[in-house]
Amino acid sequence: MNANFLQTPVTYLKGVGPNRAETLQGELGIQTYRDLLNLFPNRYLDKTQYYKVGQLQRSSADVQIMGKITHIKTVEQKKGKRLVATFIDETGKMELVWFRGQKWIRENLKLNTPYVIFGKCNWFNGVFSMPHPEMELLEEHKKGLKVFMQPIYPSTEKLSARGITNRTLSKMIQQVFLETKGNFSETLSESLIHVLKLLDKSDSLLNIHFPKNQELLAKAQFRLKFEELFYIQMQLLIKNMLHKQKIKGFPFDQVGELFNEFYKDHLPFELTGAQKRVIKEIRHDLGSNAQMNRLLQGDVGSGKTIVAVMTMLLAIDNGYQACLMAPTEILANQHYVGIKALLDKIGISCALLTGSVKQSARRPIHEQLESGELKILIGTHALLEDKVKYKNLGLAIIDEQHRFGVAQRSKLWHKNQFPPHILVMTATPIPRTLAMSLYGDLDISVIDELPPGRKPIKTVHRFDSNRLKVFQFIRDEIKKGRQIYVVYPLIQESEALDYKDLMDGYESIARDFPLPDYQISIVHGKMKPADKDYEMERFVRGETQIMVATTVIEVGVNVPNASVMIIESAERFGLSQLHQLRGRVGRGADQSFCILMTSHKLSSEAKTRLETMVRTNDGFEIAEVDLRLRGPGDIMGTQQSGVLNLKIADIVKDNDILKTARYHAIQLLKTDPTLEKPENLVIRHAYAQLVKYKNIWNYIS
Ligand code: ADP
Ligand code: MG
C-alpha cells in the first residue's frame, strides 16, 4: 500500500467518530492509519488458553473465559458507584466490575449473549471478580484474526474512560489490515533485508500486531527496532553531512609557530596517547573547510584543559581569536589562572571576563578584543553580552556543556559573521549509546586514558554512626598536609532543610576541628559570588584545610592537594553527581579517598548507586549504570531530545541493534551519500516520508 493511503485519517475507520479521533490524537498522537500501525504493543499476553470459571485460582494471572452476562446492576459505594455484572459459564459464576466509563458500558453490553472476556481475576467477598475486563462478542471473536499472543497497547485513563480499550485499538488495527490485505510497501533496501536476514515490512507489521508465534514476534521486533534506529542515525548523519557541506568554517591550515613552539618547549608533561589522538582529530576538523562541531568527552582529570590550550594556539597561529566559556566564576577563574600560566611562556595575551569584573576593567578588554590585540578571552556567560565583540573569533570552547542551553550556544555562534569552530568539553560521561543517538550529528572525541601515575581513588561507604572514625581519618590526613572536602546535598525542593543540614554539619565540624589548629572554608549558593570566591581562594591557596560546601564545587575545581572527599547524605545524590564530586580529589600524586556517608535507610536504587561508586572509578561504566537505573529521560540534557519518543526500540536494551544500525547507516552514506542508486531508492523514499511526517519522528531540531 502506498504512503498516501497510510495518511488516511482514522475517522475513516468503522466506529471512529470525531470524538474518538480527538481522544486518540490527544492521548496517543494518532491521526492516521500510519500512526495506528506504528502504535506498537508494550507487551503480549498468552491467549492460547480458555479457562472455565470453575478452574479459576485465587492467584490467577490474566485469564480468558467464555460465558455470558445474566444481569447487571449499579452498586453505590462510599465514593461514587460501581457497575457490577454477573457472568456465568457452565461451571460457575463470577462478577465483572467497572468503576469508570459505566454509562457507555451499560448502554453497550448485551445480556445473555456469549462473550469472550479477558483480564485479571480478584478473589473478593467470596466471589471471583474481574475489574474492567476486555470483552468481545464470541461471534466477533471467531471472525477476528486468530490471535495467539494478545498485544497490549499503551493506554491512558482517558482512553479507558472513553471506552477505547485495548480491544478497540486492536480492532482498529485489524481494520487497517483488512483494508490493505496486509500489504505494506517496503521501507528498507533489499540488501539490508538480505544481509541482516530481516523480516519484510508487511510480515513485520503483521507479527508485531498479531504475532503468529514467539519466533516471528521476535523477528518482527528486531526488524522494526532496527528500522527505527537506522532512520534516526540516517537523520543525524545526513544532518551532519549537510552541515559540513553548507557551513563553511575558517580553514586553520597552518600548524604554526606557536603550536609547535609550545609543543616542543613548554608542554608541562608528556601528553597521553588519548590526548595526542584527540588533538589530531581536532586538527583534522580545523584543517578541513567545514566548521568544526565537536564534543570532547573526558572523565574528570583526564586532561582536557591542555587540549583546549593547544586548540586555541592553532586558532591564533591562523590569525584568529579564541574564547573559552565556563559555567561558573570559580571555574572560569581557575581556567584563567591555569591557562594564563601556560600562555605567558609564549607571550600570548589572555583576559578574564566574568560578571564580577568591574566596568572599568571591562572597557580595555572590549577594546583590545575588537582591535585584535587580545587573543584569548576566558569567562562565564558574560562572554555572551552584546558588548563583547571580537575582531575575528575563530574558535569557541565551551566547558561542561550541560550547564548551557542550546540557545546560549547558538548565541555565541551568531556573534560572528562566520560561525567559529566549536569545541564542547564535558566531563559528564555520556554513555556511548546515548551519545550516538543524541549527538550523532556532532563529532565526538573521547579521552579515555588518565595521565600516568594517578592512583585510583579509594571509595568507601560509611554509615553516619561511624562519624567519629571518619573524623579521626580526616585528622590524620590533615596531619599529612592534605586538604579535605565535605559536601552536602542541596536539592531545590528542600532548600531550607538542606541549608540547616549544611550549617549543622559545619558547626559540628568546627567543634571537632577548632581554631587555631584548623581553618575551615564554607561555600554555598546563598553567598555572594565575591565571598564564595574568597573562601574558595583560601582553600586553593592551602590556607584552609577543610572545605565545607554544597554542590557548587561539583564542576571542574582543581586543588591537587585535596585528597579526601566526604559526601554527606550520599544516598540523595545521583550517580553522575557523585562521580563528578569524587573527581575533585585524586588530582595529585597522593592516594586519595572518597567517603560516602549515609544513614541506614537506603532504597535498593541508592544501594546500587553506592555499590557502583565503591566498585569502579570508570565514568563511562558509571554512566551506563546510571542510564540503566534512571532511563534516558533523566540524563542531563536529554529531556528535550527525541530519544524519549522512540516507538519500539529501547536506547538501553537495544544497544547492539543501535550499533548495527549506525554501522549500516554510515556504510550506506559512504557509498551513496545522495541515495541515488536504484537499490537505495526505497530508503530515499522512506527517509523523505519520515522527514515529511515529523509527527512520527521529531528528531530534527
Ligand atoms: P579535566 O579533564 O578534568 O579538565 P585537567 O585538564 O584539569 O582535567 O587536568 C587534570 C590534571 O592533570 C591537571 O593538573 C593537569 O595539569 C594534569 N594533566 C593533564 N594531562 C596530563 C598528562 N598528560 N600528564 C600528566 N599530567 C597531566
Ligand atoms: Mg576541566
Q: CATH no. for residue 325?
A: 3.40.50.300
Q: With contact defined as beta carbons under 8 Å apart, do 587 and 565 qualify? A: no
Pocket test residue of 276, 300, 302 for ligand 1, highest count of atoms within 8 A of CB: 302
Task: Determine the pLDDT at residue 260.
Answer: 94
For residue 347, report the distance from its CA to the centre of ligand 2, in Å.
Answer: 23
What would the grid cell of residue 562 be?
A: 585535596
Task: Determine the pLDDT at residue 241.
Answer: 84
Residue after which a domain boundary falls, among 616, 634, 668: 616
Q: Are residues 33 and 122 in the same domain?
A: no
Residue after which a domain boundary falls, among 98, 129, 146: 146
Convert 234-270 into a string of H (helix), E (strand) and C (coil): HHHHHHHHHHHHHCECCCCCCCCHHHHHHHHHHCCCC
Q: CATH no. for residue 171?
A: 1.10.150
Q: What is the DSSP string of 316-379?
A: HHTT-EEEEE-SSHHHHHHHHHHHHHHHHTTT--EEEE-TTS-HHHHHHHHHHHHHT---EEEE
Whether the per-residue pLDDT at 696 is higher than 70: the answer is: no
Whether the per-residue pLDDT at 410 is higher than 80: the answer is: no
- Which protein residue's CA is at the shortest distance from atom 5 of ligand 1? 303
Q: Are residues 152 and 142 in the same domain?
A: no
Atom of ligand 1 nearest to the CA of 298: 2
Q: Are residues 73 and 121 in the same domain?
A: yes
Q: Are residues 482 and 597 in the same domain?
A: yes
| Burial category of 407 from C-beta neighbours within 10 Å (exposed 0-12, middle 13-18, buried 19 and up) | exposed
For residue 570, report the distance from its CA to the centre of ligand 2, in Å.
Answer: 23
Residue, of 167 and 461, whose pLDDT is higher: 461
Q: CATH no. for residue 142?
A: 2.40.50.140
Whether the per-residue pLDDT at 619 is higher than 70: the answer is: yes
Task: Determine the pLDDT at residue 640.
Answer: 44
Pocket test residue of 263, 267, 269, 340 for ligand 1, highest count of atoms within 8 A of CB: 269
Backbone angles phi, psi at 393, to 5 degrees: -75, 120
- Which protein residue's CA is at the shortest distance from atom 25 of ligand 1? 451
* 452-to-83, 262, 500, 565, 632 alpha-carbon distances in Å: 72, 21, 41, 22, 33
Q: Are residues 601 and 491 in the same domain?
A: yes
Does 408 fall in a domain?
Answer: yes
How far from each other are the two terminal CA atoms of the chain, in whole angstroms? 30
Number of domains in the chain: 5
Task: Determine the pLDDT at residue 576.
Answer: 84
- Which protein residue's CA is at the shortest distance from atom 4 of ligand 1? 304
Residue, of 301 and 480, whose pLDDT is higher: 480
Pocket test residue of 306, 335, 425 for ligand 1, highest count of atoms within 8 A of CB: 306
Q: Are residues 413 and 518 in the same domain?
A: no
Task: Determine the pLDDT at residue 606.
Answer: 94
Task: Determine the pLDDT at residue 80.
Answer: 83
Q: With contact defined as beta carbons under 8 Å apart, do 654 and 229 qualify? A: yes
Q: With contact defined as beta carbons under 8 Å apart, do 565 and 488 qualify? A: no
DSSP state of 72: E
Backbone angles phi, psi at 160, to 5 degrees: -70, -35
Does 57 fall in a domain?
Answer: no
For residue 275, report the distance from its CA to the centre of ligand 2, in Å.
Answer: 14
Task: Determine the pLDDT at residue 701.
Answer: 30
Angle at alpha carbon of residue 653, lines to 648 and 654, rounded to 5°: 60
Q: With contact defined as beta carbons under 8 Å apart, do 135 and 64 qualify? A: no
Q: Are residues 510 and 590 in the same domain?
A: yes
Q: Give per-residue pLDDT as tens, 372-381.
A: 999 999 999 8
Q: Are residues 318 and 328 in the same domain?
A: yes
CA 160 to chain centre: 31
Q: Give per-residue pLDDT as tens, 181-201.
A: 989 999 999 999 999 999 999
Q: Are residues 313 and 233 in the same domain?
A: no
What would the grid cell of residue 311 be?
A: 586548540
Does 276 fall in a domain?
Answer: yes
Tell me how far apart the alpha carbons of residues 298 and 60 are, in angstroms, rounded to a whole number: 52
Q: Give per-residue pLDDT as tens, 100-159.
A: 888 888 888 999 999 999 888 887 778 899 999 989 999 988 887 666 778 889 888 888
Angle at alpha carbon of residue 99, lines to 97 and 101, rounded to 5°: 105
Q: Are residues 238 and 335 in the same domain?
A: no
For residue 620, report the distance from its CA to the centre of ligand 1, in Å.
Answer: 18
For residue 301, report the distance from its CA to the centre of ligand 2, in Å.
Answer: 7
Task: Determine the pLDDT at residue 589.
Answer: 80
For residue 580, report the distance from its CA to the centre of ligand 2, in Å.
Answer: 11
- Which protein residue's CA is at the shortest distance from atom 18 of ligand 1? 303
Tell me how far apart the alpha carbons of residues 95 and 121 are, in angstroms, rounded to a whole number: 9
Q: With contact defined as beta carbons under 8 Å apart, do 408 and 384 qualify? A: yes
Does 438 fall in a domain?
Answer: no
pLDDT over 70 percentage in the chain: 89
Whether the per-residue pLDDT at 214 is higher than 90: the answer is: no
- The set of residues, in sequence order, having a beta carbon less than 8 Å from that of 268 and lying 6+ positions away, is 306, 342
Pocket test residue of 278, 296, 305, 328 for ligand 1, highest count of atoms within 8 A of CB: 305
Backbone angles phi, psi at 114, to 5 degrees: -65, 130
Q: Are residues 239 and 346 in the same domain?
A: no
Q: Are residues 681 and 576 in the same domain?
A: no
Does 647 fall in a domain?
Answer: no
Q: With contact defined as beta carbons under 8 Å apart, do 321 and 368 qualify? A: no
Does 437 fall in a domain?
Answer: no
Task: Indicate if ligand 1 lies below 6 Å from the C-beta of 579.
Answer: no
Task: Determine the pLDDT at residue 699.
Answer: 33
* 181-to-1, 144, 206, 585, 620 alpha-carbon distances in Å: 9, 14, 10, 65, 48
Task: Determine the pLDDT at residue 432.
Answer: 66
For residue 556, report the distance from its CA to the centre of ligand 2, in Å.
Answer: 5
DSSP state of 71: E
Does 623 fall in a domain?
Answer: no
Does 501 fall in a domain?
Answer: yes
| Average pLDDT value for the chain | 86
Domain span at residue 174 reads: 1-47+147-183
Task: Determine the pLDDT at residue 78.
Answer: 80
Backbone angles phi, psi at 27, to 5 degrees: -90, -40
